[in-house]
Amino acid sequence: MAIDRKTARNAEADMDLRVVRYPHPTLRYKSKPIRRVDSDFRALVGRMFELMYEERGIGLAANQVDLPYRFFIINLSGDPTQKDEEFVFINPEILSRKGSEEDTEGCLSLPGINAVVRRSAEIDMVAYNLKGEEIQWRLKGLFARAFQHEYDHLDGTLFIDRLTPTRRWAVADRVDDLASEYAGRVIAGSEPREEDVLRRLAELEALRV
């Protein structure tokens, strides 16, 4: 199918950015590496930071704002005035992992759910920043945890997928509630149907992937 680039570009620029909630289909979408970073993209990233601060998050992946692109943002301080704590990771890869540790996580796409997740204690990662420079860092502690949580989003994996059976069981009711609330919104027309979501993602991919 031919896709009009101009239409896709407008789709991105006009997008009313919002955090999508479980089980929105884009949260299960395997996002695609980006080929082009331009001023429109940088503007989009700026809007994502604003949204993340409004929602009181410390990390936000493209899937969570209904975008099919392989990137995420992090500011561990959650403080909009701490600009030097803002990081954008484009086309990230985890090169190696060491050790493991457990800590509590939550997710803006799964409001009201917190659970203990086992993650690698230390990771070596590589990604591109907004200037197109390659960054290769060793991360540990909360930064390593946040990176792995957001990185999972890009593959359509949520933190509830990584819980032990007992911990998953403990949050099952709340997960079910989110699913029925979402289904209700689809019926009411305030959430799009899955086929419409997928069509839009294909349009956006044609622009930047």
| Residues 42, 54: Cα–Cα separation, whole Å | 19
Token output for 167 = 């911990």
- The least CB distance from residue 192 to Zn ion, in Å, is 21
| Residues 166, 146: Cα–Cα separation, whole Å | 23
**DSSP letters along 25-79, please?**
GGGG---B------HHHHHHHHHHHHHHHHTT-SEEEGGGGT--BSEEEE-TT--
| Residues 146, 134: Cα–Cα separation, whole Å | 20
Stretch that binds Zn ion, among 6-14, 99-107, 175-183, 184-192 (CB under 5 A): 99-107
Tokens 């930071």 belong to: 49
Residue of minimal Cβ distance to Zn ion: 107
Nearer to Zn ion, 107 or 207 (CB): 107
- The least CB distance from residue 43 to Zn ion, in Å, is 23
Pair 158, 107: CB distance under 8 Å: yes
Token output for 121 = 């204690």
146 binds Zn ion (CB under 5 A): no
150 is catalytic: yes
**DSSP letters along 83-116, please?**
GGG-EEEEEEEEEEEE--EEEEE--TTSTT--EE
- The least CB distance from residue 64 to Zn ion, in Å, is 6
The interface mask with Zn ion, positions 23-42, x = CB under 5 A, is --------------------
Token output for 63 = 């899937």
**Which among 86, 105, 150, 203 is annotated as catalytic?**
150
Nearer to Zn ion, 37 or 139 (CB): 139
163 binds Zn ion (CB under 5 A): no
- The least CB distance from residue 149 to Zn ion, in Å, is 6
- The least CB distance from residue 157 to Zn ion, in Å, is 10
Nearer to Zn ion, 111 or 141 (CB): 111
The interface mask with Zn ion, positions 106-135, x = CB under 5 A, is -x----------------------------
Binding site for Zn ion (CB under 5 A): 107
Task: Indicate which residues carry an active-site annotation.
Answer: 150
